[in-house]
Amino acid sequence: MSDRAFDIEKRSFEIIDAEVGKHDYDQMQWTIVRRVVHATADFDFATGKSKIIFHPRAIESSFSAMKNRCAVVCDVDMVLAAINKKSLADLGLRPRCYISDVLLAEESRKSGRTRSELAMRHASGEINGGIVVIGNAPTALFELIRMIKEGTVMPALIIGIPVGFVSAPESKEELAKLDVPFITNSGRKGGSPAASSTINAVMILYQTMKSSA
């Protein structure tokens, strides 16, 4: 990052801190929430109806998974594209997204199931102990929840922030009922910028912790 870009980011964070004021997030959680607000210019993720919610073990579990060089499974290519590739490489993490797989597209046509559902099933071996980042497809989140309830997978962290009017709020509500480490939010808002900035912030936190240890 250039000095100019760093200065702009620093000033942006200062503006966010000033406008939000007091909040009930701890320091690590706020680092994540602030970066989502920065990526979306939407304070609703911090203080409104779309407020970000953390499972008590979310950050701790994600750090353990990163230490083990886990896979990072994304629901769509746009989420994957916005994840910081240098951080992924530096931490030895394995980015994965199967939504565009030709065989899955054919299976989707034959079965009537969405590609995002099938992509979650296809990634089950990498989801187990990994981090799943869902920013666009509520059907992917519902399928992941179903797989967890079946005992098929147990991810270390679910970042479940799908956007949309149909099923997005409901999928997040179901996720929040699970005793599985998650970062999610309420309501319709979400999307690739929110989801990718969340995992980017988690990686930054882990890198900071490693460098200060």
Question: From CA 183, how far away is CA 134, in angstroms rounded?
Answer: 10
Beta bridge partners of residue 185, listed in sequence order:
52
| DSSP structural state of residue 176 | H
Distance (Å, whole) CA 92 – CA 51: 31
- The rounded distance, in Å, linking the Cα atoms of 49 and 192 is 19
∠ CA 152-158-161, nearest 5°, is 130
Would you please indicate which residues are annotated as catalytic (active-site) residues? 38
Cα 95 to Cα 79: distance, rounded to the nearest angstrom: 11
Q: Is 42 left (phi over 0), alpha (psi -120 to 50) or beta?
A: beta
The letter for the amino acid at 166 is V
